[in-house]
């Protein structure tokens, strides 16, 4: 619309300055940081920090737990939100109540709900009650590896709504007339799903997949709520490692750990992006023929 750069400055400048000050410049500067030893003369040490952090058992534990929990949380979030959105789409227009009750937790502070969660998953609490009633036996949810169950469920409770909303708006944006036309042409339900619904939903699905991972990497929040500031080993996340290093003023290690993680995240997202392109190409090319 407006072509002159001069007129854009007043709008862009405050935000750009902040982004550069808090993210851009220190992000680039941090690379140099991660290559020095942090001593008084700050010697250049090459990739020594990277090797040291990579071999640190606590870093490995934190990274492994973070990746494991993200790989549980993100796909679950993705699948559940798609199923829910499809269900809500099916019962429209009277789904408004269900839709808002699914979205609501996204706006609620999960911190305030953690006490209810601890009650529900107590050894004598309702979850175990239900398990026993169904013929199972009690589980000690609040110690050891079982702790991950309430953590993951709290995460899902909080984050489902937003992904459902994105999927739902994608489903609702598909014009009815496309299906009517396809039905007139004699296209089967399966054919309609593959050549109308999926290709039109895939861009949103990609976005939901990415957002699921972005929020799953923040699982530390739920870990802190349920497991406290010093969680047991199965819950020790990367954030715990970084807070620990940060507490010891070991900035070199914090920076290095962050960059290793950034690299992993981008490789993961790159793979997701490529598989989205692949899926779109297959659906557009394969099924029309």
Partner 1 sequence: MRHRRKSGRWLARGFLALLAILMLLPMVQTFLFSFSSIPEMKAYMKTQGNRDPEAWMDPHLSPHMISLGQYEQILIKDHTILQYFINSAMYAGAILLGQTLIIPALAFGLSKFRFRGREVLFFLIVMLMLLPFQVTMVPNVLTLRFLGLLNTVWAVILPMLFAPFYIFLLRQYMVALPDELLEAASMDGAGPFRSFLRIVLPVCRPALGAAAALSFAESWNLVEQPLTYLSARPELMPLSTVFNQLAKENTGFEFAGAGLYILPALLVYLFFQEDILSGIQLTEMK
User: In the numeric block, which tokens belong to residue 268?
Assistant: 């993961």
Nearer to partner 1 among residue 56 and residue 110 (C-beta):
110
Query: Site for partner 1 (CB under 8 A): which residue of 64, 228, 248, 267?
Result: 228
- Residue 60 beta carbon to partner 1: minimum distance, rounded to whole angstroms: 15
Q: Are 59 and 257 in contact (CB under 8 A)?
A: yes
Assess 135 for contact with partner 1 (CB under 8 A).
Answer: no
Assess 51 for contact with partner 1 (CB under 8 A).
Answer: no
User: Rule CB under 8 A: which of 2-41 touch partner 1?
Assistant: 2-5, 7-8, 10-12, 14-16, 18-19, 21-27, 29-30, 33
User: Rule CB under 8 A: which of 143-162 touch partner 1?
Assistant: 157, 160
First vs last Cα of the chain: how many Å apart?
41
Query: Site for partner 1 (CB under 8 A): which residue of 170, 195, 209, 234?
Result: 170
Assess 226 for contact with partner 1 (CB under 8 A).
Answer: yes
Assess 194 for contact with partner 1 (CB under 8 A).
Answer: no
Residues 6+ positions from 39 with CB-CB distance below 8 Å: none
10 Å Cβ neighbour count for 155? 27
98 upstream amide cis, omega within 30 of 0 = no
Nearer to partner 1 among residue 20 and residue 145 (C-beta):
20
User: Rule CB under 8 A: which of 86-125 touch partner 1?
Assistant: 86-91, 95, 97-119, 122-125
Nearer to partner 1 among residue 183 and residue 278 (C-beta):
183
Assess 251 for contact with partner 1 (CB under 8 A).
Answer: yes
Q: Are 154 and 221 in contact (CB under 8 A)?
A: no
From the list 39-47, 49-57, 137-145, 280-288, the region that binds partner 1 by CB under 8 A is 137-145
Rounded distance between C-alpha atoms, residue 3 and residue 142, angstroms: 60
Q: How many residues bind partner 1 (CB under 8 A)?
A: 109
Question: What one-character-per-residue DSSP string does 8-37 give?
Answer: HHHHHHHHHHHHIIIIIHHHHHHHHHHTB-
10 Å Cβ neighbour count for 41? 6
From the list 42-50, 51-59, 221-229, 277-285, the region that binds partner 1 by CB under 8 A is 221-229
In 3D space, the residue among 188, 195, 206, 197 whose CA is nearest the CA of residue 286 turns out to be: 195
């Amino acid at each position: 619309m407006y072509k002159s750069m001069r007129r854009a400055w007043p709008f862009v400048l405050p935000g750009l300055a902040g982004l550069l000050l808090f993210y851009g410049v220190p992000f680039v500067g941090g690379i140099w940081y991660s290559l020095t030893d942090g001593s008084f003369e700050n010697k250049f040490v090459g990739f020594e920090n990277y090797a040291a952090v990579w071999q640190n058992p606590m870093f490995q534990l934190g990274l492994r737990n973070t990746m494991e929990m993200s790989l549980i949380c993100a796909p679950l979030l993705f699948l559940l939100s798609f199923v829910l959105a499809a269900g809500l789409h099916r019962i429209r227009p009277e789904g408004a109540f269900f839709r808002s009750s699914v979205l609501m937790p996204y706006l609620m502070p999960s911190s305030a709900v953690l006490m209810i969660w601890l009650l529900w998953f107590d050894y004598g609490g309702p979850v175990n009650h239900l398990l026993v009633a169904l013929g199972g036996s009690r589980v000690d949810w609040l110690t050891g590896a079982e702790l991950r169950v309430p953590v993951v469920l709290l995460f899902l409770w909080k984050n489902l709504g937003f992904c459902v909303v994105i999927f739902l708006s994608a489903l609702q944006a598909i014009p009815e007339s496309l299906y009517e036309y396809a039905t007139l042409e004699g296209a089967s339900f399966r054919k309609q799903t593959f050549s109308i619904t999926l290709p039109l939903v895939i861009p949103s699905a990609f976005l939901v997949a990415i957002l699921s991972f972005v929020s799953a990497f923040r699982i530390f929040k739920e870990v802190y709520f349920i497991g406290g500031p010093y969680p047991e080993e199965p819950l020790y996340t990367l954030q715990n490692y970084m807070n620990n290093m940060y507490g010891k003023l070991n900035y070199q290690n914090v920076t290095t750990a962050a960059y290793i993680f950034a690299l992993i995240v981008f490789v993961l997202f790159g793979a997701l992006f490529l598989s989205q392109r692949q899926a779109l190409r297959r659906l557009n090319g394969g099924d029309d023929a």
